[in-house]
Amino acid sequence: MEKEFDNGNCPQAGMSSKLEESNLDPSRNSIHPAEEKDMTSFPGDLENNGQFKAGKDAHRKKLCGYLNKFSAKGRIKAWKSRWFSYDEQKCHLAYYRTAQDINPLGNIDISTASFDCKVGEDERVFEIRTPSKAYILKAVSTQAMMYWLQQLQIKRWEFCNSQPGLPVASIIVSALSGYEPLPDCTEAEEEELMPTVKTPTTLVGVKAASLPAPQAFTALQNISLKHPWIEIQNTVHNLCGGRQSHGNGGNMFDFDEFQEPPENFVEEEQLEAENAVEEETQEETRTGFRSGLVRKAKKLNSSFPRFAEGLAQEKVGVLQQHVLTLTEEVKCQKELVKLLHKALEAAQQEKRESCRYLAAAEDKDRLELVRHKVRQIAELSRRVETLELERKELGQSLAVKEAHIKELAEHVQLLMDKNQAKQQVILKLTEQTAGDFPDSVTEADVIATETLYKQQEEIEHLKDDIKAYKTQNQFLNAEIHQVTKIWTKVAEKEKALLMKCTRLQAYNCQMESKYLMMLRELQELPDLPSDHVEIVKRLIQEALQWDVKNGAMDPAHPNLVSEYDAYGFMSVPEYEVEDWKLLAKIQALETKTNILLSQEAVERPLLERWNSLGELAPSTELKGLLRCGIPVEHRPRVWRWIVNCRVHHLRSAGHYQRLLGKREATKHPASRQIELDLPRTLTSNRHFASPTSPFIARLRRVLLAFYWQNPTIGYCQGLNRLAAIALLVLEEEESAFWCLVHIVENLMPVDYYSNTLVASQVDQRVFKDFLAEKLPRLMAHLEQHAIDLALITFNWFLVVFVDSLASDILFRVWDAFLYEGTKVIFRYALAIFKYNEEEILRLQDSLEIYQYLRFFSKTISDGRKLMNIAFSDMNPFPMKLLQNRRVIHREKLEAELRELERIKAQYMREQVEQGAGLLDGAVSEDEEEG
């Protein structure tokens, strides 16, 4: 990697290639003839010359240069040379046909772009992807490309950081007080990911503007087909600029100035060109041509030094021969010396013998000596004989041995032949076996040797690729890192904006509801001029249409009023009557306001507490949490836990299935009522709206199973709603069944749903007692207007507020109810009256009061407030008192019922006594009245 950059750091490398290209390019002269001419003639300073539209200090930072842009317009696909210039203010990368153009052909928004570089066909190609378009660009060299990419990244990061603080900044601080901003990534960190690419000065920056566009094939081809108008504008402008500069030399953009690079620059260029040539040769020698070149060089060089060399060699030869003769001479001399030595020795010996012979005094001695000598000679000849014999023997044995060796050699030859044969057989067999395989071993060997060279080449290629991929990988890591950082920042901003949005929505809802309320009041004003009435009517119509528009505007936002809530209840109840529609709208808006406002402050900490809650266990803490309401995501688990705890003793494996089996065996009258009620259950809920919904089938089974679970109750209208709510939360029907069992058998008093609903009626009386105690003023008011509350509250108790409260409040009531029991119903029923106490007190007509009481529970929008009333304002609420009151009222009610029975019996007796005559009389009386 580093090596690559080192290579890249010398600008000549890039320069040379460019020179080559431009030299090859015949159109170059035609495009920039003026420039070339002026290059040599115009003296000037590079710094000044470099000033384009930017200031002097900005010039150093200015990111601009020629790149080839890939354009595929229709069938014409080509690389087109473009002058790219980065605009700091807009964070745009504008591109022009030439550096002299004023009107860009296009802009690339860098702030939202991501960058990519490809490894593969051409490693100088990189991509800028914006949400709307992907730009494929090609730099002059890999290094230039890396420089571009890195600079663009830096620019993007700078821009993202320097973006003027959004108005949400304050919100971020205030709302996310706990949030610690991400530590800004230091430069060093950046360095780690991607070593900074040094500026390839000649390829990018303002200087490059004065260079001819690289790879400008033909003028025509380079012209943008997409932007004919801009092209014309630019051309005209350039022409004008050129002409004017000749005239006064002071046009506003100083075109001529920068079009004409200074002399020294040209010099530099020439210098560089020279260097480049040098570099070129160096490069070449580095490559595989090296050996060839060396050889060539040798060949060239040999002609010159041959002469001298020949002389020396001859001399050496002569001298060497001289040495040889001399050495031989020495050898001969040495031989001669040896011979002479021997002769000398023999002579000496003879001399010694003769001396001894001469020394002998007498003949006898001399004879003796001779004899001795003769004996010696005889002995010696004998020895010679024996030695001869020995020699003969040895010769014989040698012959024997030789014969033996011959034999052995023959044997070896035989074995070798055998071996050869065997090898051949093996070879044959191997060939045979190898023939079975598609790639025979021998063939593979051949191929291996053949491809070895190829593979080596390939390895080289792969090494190159690896290097490229490393570069790419490093770049992409840097890119990912930066994009992630930007993403985090943007996400934070988005969060803050969403929070602000939520708040604004809440305010908006509030305003809207107030506006609607005002409209409603206006509408009800008795003495309104008719034209005003019309206006109000129209405004109301418009207001009712808002919903549709709003829904269309923000389909993506989950917080906005969606048609249905988490459990499939309609957010805005559908009413047919216009006036109610308005009311429903107002209420929905108020509910939304409350939800939106409480979301951050209340719901989130609650959710966190629920999230941190592990194993569930009965406790006062849990009771408190349940009263505040279970978050939607935890509700099924918690309900299941509550129900399981309480029906544990009743529950046995397969119990539910057995009950369902019973239902199949026998048909019973309750099933008719159940069938009648199934399509009429929670009709405002989308899960129950369709008769083919799986919820309906589950509800049927749950209710029928319950019939067999508790035949004394069987089926009572209202149980369908309880079961339906259980199904909505728990989904699974057996759980819902046990939830229903839990409610009816554990929570509700005996006879709540059985034949005469005695316990329900008792509870109405108990409730009146509590209301008189807790809200005496209201109770007095209701009594004054002869309001029978039981008409209103009876079904609140029987179905635990289903269809009487807005769904989010309903589920909160149920959360506490399932855990604590009927006391919760009393608390909430009282709270509902307390919540609206002032409103009821204001009404002075019994009919109005009834009409108000009919729907007032549904208009409650602030669930938190209601909860606080229920669980703190209504304290103390001792269970003992409730039970005592139930006992007392039950006795009273039963006494009354007995009395009623008595009256009934008496009436029957009277009827019988009076006979049929009375009936006729009644008819005639009616006829008279009609």
Identity of the residue, 188 or 577, whose beta carbon is nearer to another protein in the bound complex: 577
Residues 803-842 that bind another protein (CB under 8 A): 803
CB of 534 to another protein, least distance (A): 23
Residues 211-230 that bind another protein (CB under 8 A): none
- The count of residues interacting with another protein (CB under 8 A) is 49
Question: How many helices, marked H, and strands, marked E, lie in the chain?
Answer: 38, 7
CB within 8 A of 13, min separation 6: which ones? 7, 141, 143, 279
* Options 252, 337, 548, 786; binder of another protein; rule CB under 8 A: 786
Q: Which residues of 403-415 are buried (b: 16+ CB within 10 A; e: fewer)?
A: eeeeeeeeeeeee
Identity of the residue, 275 or 754, whose beta carbon is nearer to another protein in the bound complex: 754
CA distance 587 to 834: 18
Window contacting another protein (CB under 8 A); options: 143-151, 243-251, 431-439, 673-681: 673-681
CB of 748 to another protein, least distance (A): 15
- Could you tell me if 481 and 185 are in contact, meaning their C-beta atoms sit under 8 angstroms apart? yes
Identity of the residue, 451 or 911, whose beta carbon is nearer to another protein in the bound complex: 911
Under the criterion CB under 8 A, does residue 926 sit at the interface with another protein? yes
CA distance 620 to 472: 61
Question: Rounded to the nearest 5°, which phi and psi values hold at 913?
Answer: -65, -45
- Could you tell me if 587 and 836 are in contact, meaning their C-beta atoms sit under 8 angstroms apart? no
Under the criterion CB under 8 A, does residue 588 sit at the interface with another protein? no
Identity of the residue, 523 or 717, whose beta carbon is nearer to another protein in the bound complex: 717
Identity of the residue, 208 or 762, whose beta carbon is nearer to another protein in the bound complex: 762
Residues 887-906 that bind another protein (CB under 8 A): 904
Under the criterion CB under 8 A, does residue 852 sit at the interface with another protein? no
- Length of the chain in residues, anyone? 930
Q: Which residues of 284-294 are buried (b: 16+ CB within 10 A; e: fewer)?
A: eeeeeeeeeee
Window contacting another protein (CB under 8 A); options: 168-176, 313-321, 634-642, 787-795: 787-795
Q: Which helix (H) or strand (E) holds 9?
A: helix 2-9
- Could you tell me if 827 and 870 are in contact, meaning their C-beta atoms sit under 8 angstroms apart? yes
CA distance 263 to 45: 9
Binding mask 514-533 for another protein (x = CB under 8 A): --------------------
Identity of the residue, 463 or 909, whose beta carbon is nearer to another protein in the bound complex: 909
* Options 49, 141, 795, 861; binder of another protein; rule CB under 8 A: 795
* Options 170, 301, 683, 872; binder of another protein; rule CB under 8 A: 683
Under the criterion CB under 8 A, does residue 107 sit at the interface with another protein? no
CB of 672 to another protein, least distance (A): 9
CB of 757 to another protein, least distance (A): 6
Q: How far is CA 554 from CA 506, 547, 560, 834, in A?
A: 15, 11, 7, 37
DSSP 42: -
CB of 684 to another protein, least distance (A): 8
Residues 711-770 that bind another protein (CB under 8 A): 716-718, 720-721, 753-758, 761
The amino acid present at 26, given as its one-letter code, is: P
CB of 689 to another protein, least distance (A): 8
Residue 569, SS3?
Answer: strand
Cross-sheet strand order for the sheet of 92-96? 106-109, 92-96, 76-87, 64-73, 134-138, 125-129, 114-117
CB of 493 to another protein, least distance (A): 47
**DSSP labels for 801-867?**
TTTTS-HHHHHHHHHHHHHH-THHHHHHHHHHHHHTHHHHHH---HHHHHHHHHHGGGG---HHHHH
Under the criterion CB under 8 A, does residue 694 sit at the interface with another protein? no
CA nearest to 427, candidates 439, 437, 435, 416: 435
Identity of the residue, 4 or 745, whose beta carbon is nearer to another protein in the bound complex: 745
CA distance 145 to 200: 10
Under the criterion CB under 8 A, does residue 269 sit at the interface with another protein? no
Identity of the residue, 274 or 788, whose beta carbon is nearer to another protein in the bound complex: 788
Identity of the residue, 219 or 922, whose beta carbon is nearer to another protein in the bound complex: 922
Under the criterion CB under 8 A, does residue 58 sit at the interface with another protein? no
CA nearest to 737, candidates 776, 766, 770, 708: 708
CA distance 522 to 870: 34
**DSSP labels for 343-379?**
HHHHHHHHHHHHHHHHH--SHHHHHHHHHHHHHHHHH
* Options 49, 681, 735, 861; binder of another protein; rule CB under 8 A: 681
Q: How far is CA 877 from CA 130, 626, 701, 799, 874, in A?
A: 65, 18, 38, 22, 7
CB of 918 to another protein, least distance (A): 10
Under the criterion CB under 8 A, does residue 925 sit at the interface with another protein? yes
CB of 665 to another protein, least distance (A): 24
* Options 99, 208, 726, 798; binder of another protein; rule CB under 8 A: 798
Under the criterion CB under 8 A, does residue 854 sit at the interface with another protein? yes
Identity of the residue, 58 or 791, whose beta carbon is nearer to another protein in the bound complex: 791
CB of 872 to another protein, least distance (A): 29
Identity of the residue, 561 or 805, whose beta carbon is nearer to another protein in the bound complex: 805
CB of 907 to another protein, least distance (A): 5
CB of 794 to another protein, least distance (A): 4
Under the criterion CB under 8 A, does residue 851 sit at the interface with another protein? yes
Is residue 325 packed enough to be buried (19+ CB in 10 Å), middle (13-18) or exposed (0-12)? exposed
Under the criterion CB under 8 A, does residue 919 sit at the interface with another protein? yes
Residues in touch with another protein (CB under 8 A): 576-577, 673, 676-677, 679-683, 716-718, 720-721, 753-758, 761, 786, 788, 790-791, 794-795, 798-799, 803, 845-847, 850-851, 854, 904, 907-908, 911, 919, 922-923, 925-927, 929-930
